Amino acid sequence: MRVRWIGLTLALVAVGAAAGFGLGTLDDDGPATFATAAPVPASNPSIPVLPARPYTPDIDYPPLATDLDYRVHGMGRPGYRWHYDVPAGWVPEEVSPLYETRWRPADEPTVGGYSMRVKLVNEHRSNEEMVAEKEAAVTSIYDDVHVLARTDDMLSFRYREPTTNRKRYDTFVWFTPPDGASAEFEMSVVGREVDRPGLDSLRDHVAASIEKVG
């Protein structure tokens, strides 16, 4: 039976973050008066606001397209096997044989571009619990994390990648079989800001294709 996930059009949210606050200092050297209280000019200008730490520029690679062709791929073993669509021409990088694979274009650099990852999970947790666990993990690992969207089975966020200092966008989705009680399949897409339309299209297409086949 096919597991379907309705694609959510993510609202584009621009979030500005300041690294400090301006602190004013008042001059208290003037004579005290209670009859004509008035503001006293500051002896010094406010402390300058510290600028936000800049991100490292993205790599020079074409943005992820929204009109990709796909082919069906499978993972897992009999009794725990799933099918899902993969963009044509993308190549696999096995993270864990049979249970986790990352896909990206064959000519793309291995760092700084976009990719899709699929994983079979067996943590006996609901989709909602997986969402909460992932949100807690990313906020403890990464800097400048901003949650862009959160549902019962999906978490989308922006963050600062610690190794490269680049701004990255990541979305995770979890799937539970119709007769199941816990999440068994996890999919994620990650890329740059310029890739966001393509990431949304990739996520929606692949999510609609995922099914447990036995």
pLDDT beyond 70 at 113: yes
Residue 96's pLDDT is: 83
**Is residue 120 in a domain?**
yes
**Predicted TM-score (pTM) above 0.85:** no
What is the number of domains present in the chain?
A: 1
Q: Report yes or no: 183 and 169 within 8 Å, Cβ to Cβ.
A: no
CB atoms within 10 A of CB 22: 11
pLDDT beyond 80 at 16: no
pLDDT in tens, 181-196: 999 999 999 999 999 9
Interior CA angle at 68 toward 66 and 70, to 5°? 140
**Is residue 58 in a domain?**
no
Residue 48's pLDDT is: 59
- Specify the higher pLDDT residue, 16 or 140: 140
CATH of the domain at 106: 3.40.1000.10
Residue 95's pLDDT is: 84
**Is residue 168 in a domain?**
yes
Domain of 154 in residue numbering reads as 70-212
Amino acid at 137: A
pLDDT in tens, 142-183: 999 999 999 999 999 999 999 999 999 999 999 999 889 999
Residue 117: half-sphere exposure toward Cβ, Cα within 13 Å: 18
List residues bridging with 83 in a β-sheet. Answer: 74, 211
pLDDT beyond 60 at 28: no
**Is residue 125 in a domain?**
yes
**Is residue 182 in a domain?**
yes
| Residue of 105, 65, 70 lying closest to 207 (CA atoms) | 70
